[in-house]
Amino acid sequence: MKKMLLASNNVGKQREIQSLLDDLDIELITPDNLDLHLEVLEDGITYAENAARKAMAFARASGLVALADDSGLEVDALGGAPGLHSARYSPITGATDADRRTFLLQQLQSHPRPWPARFRCFVALANPAGQVWFADGECPGEIIPEERGHNGFGYDPIFLLPDLGLTMAELTLEQKNHLSHRARAVTAARPVLLKLSSPAPH
């Protein structure tokens, strides 16, 4: 494997994953590079299942090893919600990230602070033959009622890392690549990536 497909149309995710893997001797391809337009139904009951569905669909469509992730925000006061539904956590059709953050904060108004939470991420690597490998990562923190920072996406502006006193959206990309749930999952997947990208012995 000298090329790998990032099985996501999310530009923020693409940027993060590319920066995490740019030291490897692998050419990272995006769906746009291949003019590949796939919509994979994410109706699995776990992050791992959703990530695997995306990775396998993109691997089969492209003939390349594909990396997909599924991640979510889990807030203790909401019983772990939005969780698997983080990307669709708003009653508004065509909701933006800002809409989802606003809706989440509305759901938390009746709960006392602090609002402990965690980001979770599962990465799936799939080859066109249907083999799948997994890795996961987690980042603990808490939700705050005001948005801070402009460097992230999703729920990053309201997700505080208490030890740093910064939200995920206030971190530099370098800091995020040490601390985030996605960074931890992708880092955990590196041994598999290295194995898959090594030339086969003759």
By DSSP bridging, strand 132-143 and strand 159-161 are antiparallel
70 belongs to the catalytic site: yes
Rounded-to-integer distance, Cα 98 and Cα 117, Å: 18
Rounded-to-integer distance, Cα 30 and Cα 19, Å: 14
Closest CA to 142 of 154, 157, 158: 158
Cis ω for the linkage preceding 201 (within 30 of 0): no
In the set 69, 70, 136, 156, the catalytic residue is 70
Structure tokens at 116: 């402990």
Active site residues: 70
